Amino acid sequence: MDVKVSVVSCIIEITRITAPDAPYEDEQMKEIFQLIVVAFENMSHVSTHSYKKVTSILDTIAKVNLCLVMLDLKCDALVVEMFQSFLKMIRSNHPPAVLSAMETIMSLVINESEDISLDLLSSLFAIVRKANQNVSPISWTLREEIITRINAQPTKRGTAVTAKKSYMLALKASMLLCLYLD
Protein backbone atom coordinates (compact mmCIF):
# COMPACT_ATOMS: atom_id res chain seq x y z
CA MET A 1 0.00 0.00 0.00
CA ASP A 2 2.91 2.37 0.69
CA VAL A 3 3.92 2.17 -2.99
CA LYS A 4 0.39 3.09 -4.15
CA VAL A 5 0.29 6.01 -1.74
CA SER A 6 3.68 7.20 -3.02
CA VAL A 7 2.45 7.00 -6.62
CA VAL A 8 -0.73 8.92 -5.76
CA SER A 9 1.36 11.51 -3.92
CA CYS A 10 3.48 12.08 -7.04
CA ILE A 11 0.42 12.30 -9.29
CA ILE A 12 -1.21 14.79 -6.93
CA GLU A 13 1.90 16.97 -7.06
CA ILE A 14 1.77 16.93 -10.87
CA THR A 15 -1.90 17.86 -10.66
CA ARG A 16 -1.14 20.68 -8.22
CA ILE A 17 1.53 22.08 -10.54
CA THR A 18 -0.72 22.01 -13.60
CA ALA A 19 -3.83 23.33 -11.79
CA PRO A 20 -6.36 24.50 -12.79
CA ASP A 21 -5.86 22.28 -15.85
CA ALA A 22 -6.03 18.53 -15.35
CA PRO A 23 -2.81 16.87 -16.54
CA TYR A 24 -4.54 13.66 -17.61
CA GLU A 25 -7.52 12.57 -19.69
CA ASP A 26 -10.90 12.17 -17.98
CA GLU A 27 -10.76 8.38 -17.70
CA GLN A 28 -7.26 8.55 -16.24
CA MET A 29 -8.43 11.14 -13.72
CA LYS A 30 -11.26 8.83 -12.66
CA GLU A 31 -8.72 6.08 -12.02
CA ILE A 32 -6.56 8.51 -10.06
CA PHE A 33 -9.54 9.50 -7.92
CA GLN A 34 -10.19 5.83 -7.18
CA LEU A 35 -6.58 5.46 -6.00
CA ILE A 36 -6.92 8.61 -3.88
CA VAL A 37 -10.01 7.32 -2.10
CA VAL A 38 -8.25 4.01 -1.43
CA ALA A 39 -5.23 5.92 -0.11
CA PHE A 40 -7.48 7.75 2.38
CA GLU A 41 -8.03 4.42 4.12
CA ASN A 42 -4.47 4.77 5.46
CA MET A 43 -5.38 7.89 7.41
CA SER A 44 -6.69 5.99 10.39
CA HIS A 45 -3.19 4.67 11.06
CA VAL A 46 -1.28 7.75 12.23
CA SER A 47 1.84 5.71 12.96
CA THR A 48 2.26 4.28 9.45
CA HIS A 49 4.94 5.41 7.04
CA SER A 50 2.39 6.57 4.46
CA TYR A 51 0.31 8.69 6.87
CA LYS A 52 2.26 11.87 6.16
CA LYS A 53 1.89 11.37 2.40
CA VAL A 54 -1.83 10.71 2.71
CA THR A 55 -2.36 13.88 4.75
CA SER A 56 -0.35 15.79 2.16
CA ILE A 57 -2.62 14.38 -0.58
CA LEU A 58 -5.65 15.46 1.44
CA ASP A 59 -4.24 18.95 1.93
CA THR A 60 -3.43 19.38 -1.77
CA ILE A 61 -6.90 18.24 -2.83
CA ALA A 62 -8.41 20.82 -0.48
CA LYS A 63 -6.09 23.65 -1.58
CA VAL A 64 -6.44 23.20 -5.35
CA ASN A 65 -10.13 22.24 -5.22
CA LEU A 66 -9.38 18.97 -6.98
CA CYS A 67 -12.56 17.49 -5.53
CA LEU A 68 -14.51 19.69 -7.94
CA VAL A 69 -13.01 17.77 -10.84
CA MET A 70 -14.65 14.68 -9.32
CA LEU A 71 -17.99 16.45 -9.69
CA ASP A 72 -17.22 17.50 -13.26
CA LEU A 73 -16.39 13.90 -14.14
CA LYS A 74 -19.61 12.67 -12.49
CA CYS A 75 -17.78 10.49 -9.96
CA ASP A 76 -20.78 10.59 -7.63
CA ALA A 77 -20.31 7.13 -6.12
CA LEU A 78 -16.65 7.91 -5.50
CA VAL A 79 -17.56 11.19 -3.78
CA VAL A 80 -19.90 9.28 -1.45
CA GLU A 81 -17.14 6.75 -0.78
CA MET A 82 -14.72 9.59 -0.01
CA PHE A 83 -17.18 11.17 2.45
CA GLN A 84 -17.73 7.82 4.13
CA SER A 85 -13.98 7.29 4.34
CA PHE A 86 -13.46 10.68 5.96
CA LEU A 87 -16.21 10.09 8.49
CA LYS A 88 -14.96 6.62 9.31
CA MET A 89 -11.27 7.48 9.52
CA ILE A 90 -11.18 10.80 11.38
CA ARG A 91 -9.83 10.49 14.92
CA SER A 92 -9.04 12.88 17.71
CA ASN A 93 -5.31 12.17 17.30
CA HIS A 94 -5.33 13.70 13.81
CA PRO A 95 -3.90 17.22 13.61
CA PRO A 96 -6.47 20.03 13.22
CA ALA A 97 -5.23 20.58 9.65
CA VAL A 98 -6.56 17.15 8.67
CA LEU A 99 -10.04 17.94 10.00
CA SER A 100 -9.90 21.34 8.31
CA ALA A 101 -8.94 19.84 4.92
CA MET A 102 -11.76 17.29 5.20
CA GLU A 103 -14.24 20.06 6.04
CA THR A 104 -13.01 22.12 3.10
CA ILE A 105 -13.34 19.23 0.65
CA MET A 106 -16.76 18.19 1.91
CA SER A 107 -18.05 21.77 1.93
CA LEU A 108 -16.78 22.43 -1.60
CA VAL A 109 -18.50 19.30 -2.87
CA ILE A 110 -21.78 20.15 -1.13
CA ASN A 111 -21.72 23.81 -2.21
CA GLU A 112 -20.85 23.10 -5.83
CA SER A 113 -23.04 20.06 -6.40
CA GLU A 114 -26.04 20.62 -8.62
CA ASP A 115 -27.89 17.92 -6.73
CA ILE A 116 -26.89 16.24 -3.52
CA SER A 117 -27.65 12.54 -3.62
CA LEU A 118 -29.54 10.68 -0.94
CA ASP A 119 -26.49 8.43 -0.57
CA LEU A 120 -24.32 11.41 0.28
CA LEU A 121 -26.83 12.78 2.77
CA SER A 122 -27.32 9.34 4.22
CA SER A 123 -23.61 9.08 4.99
CA LEU A 124 -23.83 12.37 6.88
CA PHE A 125 -26.99 11.48 8.81
CA ALA A 126 -26.08 7.86 9.59
CA ILE A 127 -24.63 8.99 12.91
CA VAL A 128 -28.06 10.14 14.09
CA ARG A 129 -29.36 6.59 14.19
CA LYS A 130 -30.09 5.61 17.78
CA ALA A 131 -28.39 2.25 17.34
CA ASN A 132 -25.11 3.96 16.47
CA GLN A 133 -23.71 4.75 19.92
CA ASN A 134 -19.98 4.07 19.36
CA VAL A 135 -19.20 7.00 17.09
CA SER A 136 -15.97 8.95 17.30
CA PRO A 137 -16.63 12.43 18.77
CA ILE A 138 -14.47 14.01 16.08
CA SER A 139 -16.54 12.26 13.40
CA TRP A 140 -19.67 13.73 15.02
CA THR A 141 -18.03 17.19 14.91
CA LEU A 142 -17.15 16.82 11.22
CA ARG A 143 -20.69 15.72 10.31
CA GLU A 144 -22.21 18.49 12.40
CA GLU A 145 -20.01 21.10 10.72
CA ILE A 146 -20.91 19.92 7.22
CA ILE A 147 -24.63 19.71 8.00
CA THR A 148 -24.48 23.23 9.49
CA ARG A 149 -22.81 24.50 6.33
CA ILE A 150 -25.49 22.83 4.21
CA ASN A 151 -28.18 24.61 6.21
CA ALA A 152 -26.36 27.95 5.83
CA GLN A 153 -26.27 27.76 2.04
CA PRO A 154 -29.40 29.79 1.22
CA THR A 155 -28.03 32.85 3.01
CA LYS A 156 -24.84 32.81 0.93
CA ARG A 157 -26.52 32.97 -2.45
CA GLY A 158 -30.02 34.24 -3.02
CA THR A 159 -30.70 32.85 -6.48
CA ALA A 160 -33.77 30.89 -7.50
CA VAL A 161 -31.61 27.89 -8.36
CA THR A 162 -30.05 27.92 -4.89
CA ALA A 163 -33.48 28.28 -3.27
CA LYS A 164 -34.77 25.25 -5.19
CA LYS A 165 -31.61 23.27 -4.35
CA SER A 166 -31.94 24.23 -0.68
CA TYR A 167 -35.58 23.22 -0.60
CA MET A 168 -34.83 19.83 -2.17
CA LEU A 169 -31.90 19.34 0.19
CA ALA A 170 -34.02 20.18 3.23
CA LEU A 171 -36.72 17.79 2.04
CA LYS A 172 -34.21 14.96 1.57
CA ALA A 173 -32.59 15.70 4.93
CA SER A 174 -35.96 15.67 6.69
CA MET A 175 -36.86 12.33 5.13
CA LEU A 176 -33.54 10.83 6.20
CA LEU A 177 -33.86 12.14 9.74
CA CYS A 178 -37.30 10.56 10.01
CA LEU A 179 -35.85 7.22 8.87
CA TYR A 180 -32.88 7.37 11.24
CA LEU A 181 -34.78 8.51 14.29
CA ASP A 182 -37.25 5.62 14.09
**What is the share, in percent, of the chain residues with pLDDT greater than 90?**
37
- pLDDT given for residue 68 in this prediction: 92
Q: How high does pLDDT run on average in the chain?
A: 80
pLDDT at 151 over 50: yes
* pLDDT tens digit sequence for 33-88: 999 999 988 787 777 788 899 999 999 999 999 999 999 999 999 999 999 899 88
Name the band, by pLDDT with cuts 50, 70 and 90, for residue 178. low
Residue ranges covered by each domain of the chain: 2-181
pLDDT by residue (tens digit) across 86-129?
Answer: 988 888 888 999 999 999 999 899 888 887 788 887 777 775 55
136 with 96: CB under 8 angstroms? no
pTM above 0.85, yes or no: no
Q: Over range 159-178, report the average pLDDT.
A: 57
3-state SS, residue 91: coil
What would the DSSP string read from start to end of 21-83? S-SS-HHHHHHHHHHHHHHHGGGG-TTSTTHHHHHHHHHHHHHTTTHHHHHHTT-HHHHHHHH
Cis check: omega of the bond before 20, within 30 degrees of 0: yes
pLDDT the model gives residue 160: 47
First to last CA, the chain: 40
Per-residue confidence at 162, pLDDT binned at 50, 70, 90? Answer: low
Hey, what amino acid is at 74? Answer: K
